Structure 1
Amino acid sequence: KDLDSPFPFSDRFNSIFGLNRSRIESSLGSGVIFYSNGYIVTNQHVIGDKSAGITVELSNGLKKEAKIIGIDKGTDLAVLKIDNDHELSSIEIANSDKLRIGDIVLAIVNPYGAGQSVSMGIVSATGREFNNPYSDYIQTDASINRGNSGGALLDSSGRLVGINTLIRSSSGGSEGIGLAIPSTRIVGIINDLIQYGEVRRGWLGFSIDRRVLRVNNLLQISYVNPGGPGEKATLKKGDIIISINNELSSYPLLFKEFARSKPGTTIKFKVLRESKELDLELFTSSMP
């Protein structure tokens, strides 16, 4: 599969497949059978965005041609579909929100195309962003190398908790910092891609002052889009968000609520405006 561009997020990070050249002739990655009728989830950077020449090799050695059902470059996820004469064994999905630092996880991988193998590690952190505003990564020290993009990260019961996506590395190989997209993010994205061919996210209609966030760690609104959900919720420039859905505000929390929202989702804000606290409800809409 021809790929004409390197991994899109940040030059500081290597994709697990090692897209560190301006052009490569073919790509190799892993995938997970998400639904028994032939839907497979993998990383978008493994397959690119054209359907020609994608071959899936199942665990029994059977090879099938696959077509792209949908891709989401923001989260680097893609859904493929293969036709099969019988139902396939799909993976059981766990709630990644229940993961705790120190939990044991297993990475099911295909390092360097050598064949399926398993590495064990722990959850080192959750909620990692790493220069991708759509991310909410699980960080693990399970050994992840080239050829592992799109592979499964499992809990100790063998249930899917994430899709292996990135490594942070100076050498291009595993250095104990692997990143996986959590299962709670994956399910909604995959279902959108299957149903609509794209991911439908909610739109908040306001912007946060990055300087104030960096210096004072406050969520201060810097701009409200005219006619957008923020304006309809009566948010104003200069408002400081102090809670989101009854939780103490933080940028990771704001992003999580945005990333998991759909058009029509209700988000409750408590804001500080001229020394007064106001409770507001925002109804997300489709991106303009």
Structure 2
Amino acid sequence: MSIGVILSLAQATMGYARGAPDSFADLADQVSPAVVNITTATMVAAPTGPNLPNFPEGSPFEDFFRDLLPPGQGDGNGDQRRNRRSQALGSGFVISEDGYIVTNNHVIDGADEIEIEFFSGETLDAELVGTDPKTDIALLKVTSDEPLAFVQFGDSEAARVGDWVMAMGNPLGQGFSVSAGIVSARGRALSGTYDDYIQTDAAINRGNSGGPLFNMDGQVIGVNTAILSPNGGSIGIGFAMSSRVVTTVVEQLKEFGETRRGWLGVRIQDVTDDVAEAMGLASAAGALVTDVPEGPAAEAGIQAGDLIVKFDGREVENVRELVRQVGNTSVGKSVRVVVLRDGKTMTLNVTLARREEAENQPIPTSAPAGQPMEKEVLGLTLSPMTDDLREQLGLSGSVDGLVVRNVAEDAQAYEKGLRAGDVITEAGQQKVASVDDLEDRIDDAKDAGRNSLLLLVNRSGDPRFVALSID
């Protein structure tokens, strides 16, 4: 009887599941004309090296020694082999009838020649319009006498885990190939600042790079970019850069030939549970400002210690989300930034600069190290900053705070990563210049019923917030 109940429950549950497509054939027929194979050629200079020993023509030793030497070395008669051409294979897809093609940057990186092969067998030479190494996206252009079949981008945000998807490309140089699977996860990050990958179990292999990941409406919701594999082949863990990211990059490459991302001009960190407790926050959310170098944020009045909770009308969950929001915002746009400061919200208007230009500018640094009147607090041996220390450490006259001389290895401060040479510039989001200042901040936190104190710690110009227990 219990078995019957289990079976009936299983059958009832299955009734809610959406069945697999009967076939992907119609979808494959629909999109195939817009998917392309990409072959690149690069001239590789012949390496220099010793020539072969001289042997009589036809001697077996002649072939033996030639096989041992790498390509491009001499043939024994003083001749050098010519520079050789290196070829690479990848995939892409046409996004407009006038010949714009999207692929991965690593597919065409360094290529001297780029050839596009269409599903019909026709081939055309392509020109590089622009690349974005940060998202591994490249835009190409071909010229055709006839309008080209193309596909459109879909909304990757509408894709749900479990939705069917279809990948198409040129795996291992085998030509046009289709694989199907589901969306395994969304919002994956690999190593890039702007990563927003869709994970899929649709088979993706070498050569699929740059190819499209389709939803069931034939829209591109991702660009197949990478796989996780111990053996170099598909094991069902593939990653496609989401169309949410790709569309913005493509629009900028098409218009400018380069990316032009917004830049806020702050250093930020995520809010951990202990940092949230130290700040008296209800939840660990937002982006905590650790430093404000010269730039848009400084001009707008944003300060170190501010918690950015909303950017341009959108809630900020964490650092990664804020970085993407800012990067996707137009350069020169004035945006409203809501920050939490001293328990109160403030709205500031910031005019964004261009990130690519800012990345080439040096950022002012702050400090490490130590001298006189030492005192131990919270497992830290501290001393005030002095002119001698500033000179010794090469710091500007504006740098102030408490220099960490030593950290007890059994102290929580050591577990949190504090080390000798760090400089504590703030405690409880207030400046500290003496150990007495720090002890006052500890007393204030205890009076407020808090169990931890938020410190702003500067190490070699890299500030970060650390929460230490004061129980």
Runs of 4+ in structure 1 over 4 Å off: 212-218
Structure 2, unaligned stretches of length 5 or more? 1-40, 45-84, 276-283, 359-471
Secondary structure, counterpart of 1:26 in structure 2: strand
Aligned to 2:195: 135
Judge conservation of contact 1:96–1:183 (CA < 8 Å) in 2: yes
| Counterpart check, 1:173 vs 2:240 | no
| Counterpart check, 1:2 vs 2:42 | yes
| Counterpart check, 1:241 vs 2:281 | no
Aligned to 1:251: 319
Which TM-score applies when normalising by structure 2? 0.53
Cα distance in 1, alignment partners of residues 310 and 127 from structure 2:
43
Aligned to 1:280: 348
Aligned to 2:329: 261
Aligned to 2:104: 43
Higher relative contact order (CA 8 A, sep 6+): 1
What are the residue-to-residue correspondences of 1:187-206 with 2, within 5 Å?
187-206=247-266
Return 86-95 or 250-259, whichever deviates more.
250-259
- The structure with the largest alpha-carbon Rg is 2
> Could you say if the C-alpha distance between residues 206 and 3 of structure 1 is closer, same or farther in structure 2, counting changes exceeding 3 Å?
farther
Judge conservation of contact 2:42–2:110 (CA < 8 Å) in 1: no
Cα distance in 1, alignment partners of residues 149 and 274 from structure 2:
50
Aligned to 2:417: none
Offset at residue 248 of structure 1 (A): 4.7
Secondary structure, counterpart of 1:149 in structure 2: coil
- Pick from 107, 124, 128: which aligns with 1:64? 124
Offset at residue 266 of structure 1 (A): 4.3
Judge conservation of contact 1:138–1:181 (CA < 8 Å) in 2: yes
Judge conservation of contact 1:56–1:64 (CA < 8 Å) in 2: yes
Offset at residue 3 of structure 1 (A): 9.1
- Pick from 158, 162, 170: which aligns with 1:98? 158
Aligned to 1:158: 218
- Pick from 288, 291, 300: which aligns with 1:223? 291
Secondary structure, counterpart of 2:94 in structure 1: strand
Secondary structure, counterpart of 2:175 in structure 1: coil
Cα distance in 2, alignment partners of residues 260 and 254 from structure 1:
10
Greater helix content: 2
1:26 partner letter = Q
Instruction: Give aligned-pair identity as a percent.
Output: 39
Aligned to 1:80: 140
* 1:32-55 per-position Cα deviation (integer Å, ceiling 9, x unaligned): 0011111111001001144x2211
Cα distance in 2, alignment partners of residues 26 and 259 from structure 1:
34
* 1:230-259 per-position Cα deviation (integer Å, ceiling 9, x unaligned): 112211011122334342522232122023
Count of aligned pairs between the two proteins: 266
1:231 partner letter = A
Structure 1, unaligned stretches of length 5 or more? 5-23
Offset at residue 58 of structure 1 (A): 0.8
Secondary structure, counterpart of 1:66 in structure 2: strand
CA RMSD of aligned residues (A): 2.1
